[in-house]
Chains A and B, each alone.
Chain A
Amino acid sequence: MDATRLHTLVVLVEDKPGVLNRIASLFRRRAFNIESLTVGHTHQPGLSRMTITMYGDQVHIERVIANLYKLVNVIQVADLTDTPAVNRDLALVKVNAMAEKRSEIMQLVDVYRARIVDVTNESLIIEITGDEEKIDSLLEVLRPFGIIEMVRTGIVAMARGAAPNPSPNGYVPQQG
């Protein structure tokens, strides 16, 4: 039996009105739970790329992929879970930082190769990019200082190696 684990799906879709709604509606209707979903442009006009992370066993994830393919605007889906890939999440963390704590926080930021992007007398905003574990770990060490607010983009992923994955299958944008 396959175990339930976190899967990373990359979905190439036509950039048409309502596509995000179609994907969201599919996940809601079939009761598929999303951990994170990001969407943005690709280098090809007319093509958007989504990264979806979700928990499930292999059979469940295959059902999700099959349902995604039923959407006419979905060009290609790849499950990068077992593929060598770069996974990146970006977080902005606003943390309490009175003068006496500031150098301690800045040391931690260095250790995590994060950056400080905003400073006030009482606070810092820290920007960190990395995989989810790295960000979770930084959040853990920052928590004792008092996190004021935090935002994460959700995972974006790209397979390592020269070939595109998923491949856009010779997609040519439509005129008009």
Chain B
Amino acid sequence: MKRTGAQIVWECLVREGVEVVFGYPGGANLPIYDAMLDYPIRHILPRHEQGAAHMADGYARVSGKVGVAMATSGPGATNLTTGIATAYMDSVPVVFITGQVASRFIGYDAFQETDVTGITLPITKHNYLVTNVRDLTRVIREAFYIARSGRPGPVLIDIAKDVQQATVEDWEYDETPIRLPGYRPDLRPLPEDLERAVAMINAARRPLILAGHGVLMSGAMAQLRQFAEMTRTPVAMTLLGIGCFPASHPLNLGMMGMHGEAWVNQAIQKADLLLAMGMRFDDRATGDLKRYASGARKIHFEIDRSEVNKNVRVDLALIGDLKETLDQLLPRLKPADHGDWLEEINEMKGDSAVRDIQNLPDYGHLYAAHVINDIWRYTNGEALVVSDVGQNQMWAAQYYRHDKPFTYITSGGLGTMGYALPAAIGAKVARPEAEVWVIAGDGGFQMTQAELATAAQERLKINVAIINNGFLGMVRQWQEFFYERRYAATPITSPDFVKLAEAHGLTGLRVTKRSEVEEAVRRARQTEGTVIIDFRVEQEDSVYPMVPAGAALDEMIRRPLRNVLIETAETDL
């Protein structure tokens, strides 16, 4: 059949099962947009291409499908880059399709020309520049395959405008198997390595599972749970692993790392066997590498061979899909009890509970921890939470307890402020039935607040909790701890968020006391359309515990009991 390059793009997207594209039109992708109207794919227009990238990313993380974002050449494409890098760092499958100037102009600094494949080379899993319409079908098929297979990641396709306009008289969809001789996403562990793993696991007395994003990406939640329950092995999660193991499970320890609970980090340091499943020993998860779990043997379950021995030298690596590897391993494991070890960890929990602000009365203050704890309580722990980056992200990770997978979305590796609102839009599009909550700071929210207009245009129901402390809070916290409270460039003013919501035809609420939280959450849930709640929280509250950069994992700054007591005394006067 006769098809233009632009039509071929949509023909291929339909066959890949794409339901929605997040994109922004412009000069160099006009033919693609013109052809769009004839195809049954929903299009969502962001207010900035970065928003499109985060939307496609949020959509992919929640749906398990490949997200698709589009932009035009030049500034359209460069605006995507923060979102591409965000997806790359967190291994999220997204296909980015950018328009490029006509191939005869490439290299001549044409209007809105940028070397997009050059710019995105180090932040994509692979990328393509298409200058011949005959390559287009193959390239799009390869792009989707590469994006979703192996360790997933973003793939970019840059399509010259003349390719979009070119006509193929005899176009047919290519059904032949994809042939990428250099691409091996299907590695499996060696049988002898599995045997070694079985021996190490059965011999361990203080084992601990480090569960990461890979558990979710591989869909190995049931296998992880079976492993933990059968061998009575406690589970610590990375930030992106949250949701892969039920928070309410007795073997759940919680989040590890820089702002992980004290007992989690202490347990890691005391373990004799670490089972790292789909995690990459990020520096925020390990603290000082020289003093990281020095008494533990380490088994790395990892799909990407280049992650092995990158940060932490391991005793054994099991390369392959986690779910398949665990399926092979589980029948060979001996049930264990590890009662002494679990008891020891339980004792460590006691001290932390005293310092946990969640357990302290508010004395008239509005603490972020209380706000998030209350949102958790009044949403019955069932919300799909999308957090931004900074203090709000850590509090969300600490105080919203997730029992189900794919219910906590955040930019972990890149730490992209402004991620939450657009990613939440993508998540809501993927799961319209889900109750979606954004938890963002006043700083990060303002970076992409223009996407409120997108939520309004698409009539999406999202509840936005702004943890408003008048500071770029995490940086302020570092200034407090490490820069003698010199608050350089961290105080930030905000627009009236209630009026901002109203300006978009949405609803805005403001909360200044803890007693108002419950009512605000209830109203937000009952109100049609997106609701913003401006939570005016304590300005100089910090996230505890904290492992300072360069410190060992169990060298934490704890919430000072004295401060809590003094604040308490003052308020009582």
Contact = CB atoms under 8 A, between A and B. Distances in A.
A83 interface: no
14 contacts: A14-B182, A17-B129, A18-B121, A25-B122, A29-B122, A59-B313, A62-B309, A66-B305, A66-B308, A67-B306, A70-B304, A72-B183, A171-B181, A174-B179
A76 B183 CA distance: 10
A91 B529 CA distance: 73
A10 interface: no
A128 interface: no
A67 B118 CA distance: 19
Contacts of A76: 182
A126 B310 CA distance: 45
A73 interface: yes
Contacts of A75: 181-182
Contacts of B310: 63
A66 B117 CA distance: 23
Given A29-B122, A63-B309, A63-B310, A72 B135 contact: no
A172 B180 CA distance: 10
Contact of B306 (A18, A59, A70, A73): A70
Interface of B: 117-118, 121-122, 125-126, 129, 132, 134-135, 146, 179-184, 304-306, 308-310, 313
B186 to A, nearest CB: 13
Contacts of A18: 117, 121, 129
Interface in A40-72: 59, 62-63, 66-67, 69-72
Nearest to A67: B306
Nearest to B153: A70
Interface of A: 13-14, 17-18, 21-22, 25, 29, 59, 62-63, 66-67, 69-76, 168-172, 174, 176
B187 to A, nearest CB: 10
A31 to B, nearest CB: 12
Given A21-B118, A63-B309, 10 more contacts: A13-B182, A25-B121, A29-B122, A59-B309, A69-B306, A70-B125, A74-B182, A168-B181, A170-B181, A176-B132
Contact of B121 (A22, A59, A63): A22
Contacts of B118: 21
A169 B115 CA distance: 33
B179 A69 contact: no
B117 A72 contact: no
A63 B181 contact: no
Given A21-B118, A25-B121, A25-B122, A72 B306 contact: no
B306 A71 contact: no
B115 to A, nearest CB: 10
Contacts of B122: 25, 29
A18 B128 CA distance: 10
A73 B309 contact: no
B134 A69 contact: no
A60 to B, nearest CB: 9
Contacts of B129: 17-18
Contacts of A70: 125, 304, 306
In order of increasing CB-CB distance, the 7 nearest A-B pairs are: A66-B306, A66-B305, A75-B182, A72-B126, A67-B306, A74-B182, A171-B181
Which residue, of B146, B179, B182, B309, has the highest number of chain A Cβ atoms within 10 A? B182
A63 B306 contact: yes
Contacts of A71: 182
A176 B134 contact: yes
Nearest to B117: A18
Given A29-B122, A59-B313, A176-B134, A14 B308 contact: no
A18 B106 CA distance: 15
Contact of A169 (B121, B135, B181, B304): B181
A51 B306 CA distance: 20
Contacts of A21: 118, 121
A32 to B, nearest CB: 12
A17 B134 CA distance: 16
B180 A72 contact: yes
Contacts of A25: 121-122
Given A25-B121, A72-B146, A176-B135, A14 B181 contact: yes
A40 B518 CA distance: 69
Contacts of B308: 66
Contacts of A63: 306, 309-310
A169 B179 CA distance: 13
B309 A72 contact: no
Contacts of B117: 18
B371 to A, nearest CB: 40
